[in-house]
Chains A and B, each alone.
Chain A
Amino acid sequence: GAVVSQHPSWVICKSGTSVKIECRSLDFQATTMFWYRQFPKQSLMLMATSNEGSKATYEQGVEKDKFLINHASLTLSTLTVTSAHPEDSSFYICSASRASGSISSYNEQFFGPGTRLTVL
């Protein structure tokens, strides 16, 4: 149980185009989903946190208009990289947890396999 999938697993696009990445919780309802970015040989950096039905909370330095996040259902969140440029090339990873964030306890995050984006 607790499987998270991402689609596509890799994508190549031209500079200036937009790319949508899907994150799905396959066997549980995810009220909270997280989007991370991982540069080669570096750690994961949290980009944003989204709760189902509400606007995403972006980390400092992440452009909201550049990285559009939609969490329309309890099993699906999407990340759209708008007007992509070569510097947006990276490995994007999502995770999902069963309950919304509680400050008093940790709700385990289940991670997807990631999507590699290459912008030419």
Chain B
Amino acid sequence: AQSVTQLDSHVSVSEGTPVLLRCNYSSSYSPSLFWYVQHPNKGLQLLLKYTSAATLVKGINGFEAEFKKSETSFHLTKPSAHMSDAAEYFCVVSPPSGGYNKLIFGAGTRLAVHP
């Protein structure tokens, strides 16, 4: 069965410092992996996706993630946090066995950014 584990439920950083949100996945097959962000009162927005092309994926708003098969990880990073980055972040796997449109969500990581 496919699953994702987000290792931190809360992450707090200072504005201008790097962001690291950790995600490990479990999949019998080569999965597709995504990061979504959820701002209050707004729909989830796709930050980036990995679909077996380049292992380093660049997304919107300066975020990127690296697919590491040996570590079964897909951590999300950003060099410098902005106040507007404060939100809930979800790591998501889409198993090919269920069709690539079935999404399995991690529990989420709440990112707080303070001045």
Contact = CB atoms under 8 A, between A and B. Distances in A.
Given A103-B96, A106-B32, A93 B103 contact: no
Interface string B39-76: 00111111001010000000000000000000000000
B100 A103 contact: yes
A106 B43 contact: no
* Category for how many chain B residues contact A: 20 to 34
B44 A111 contact: yes
Nearest to B41: A113
Interface residues of B: mostly helix, strand, loop or mixed? loop
A111 B36 CA distance: 10
Contacts of B42: 113
A93 B41 CA distance: 11
A44 B90 CA distance: 9
A110 B43 contact: yes
Interface of B: 9, 32, 36, 41-46, 49, 51, 90, 94, 96, 99-108
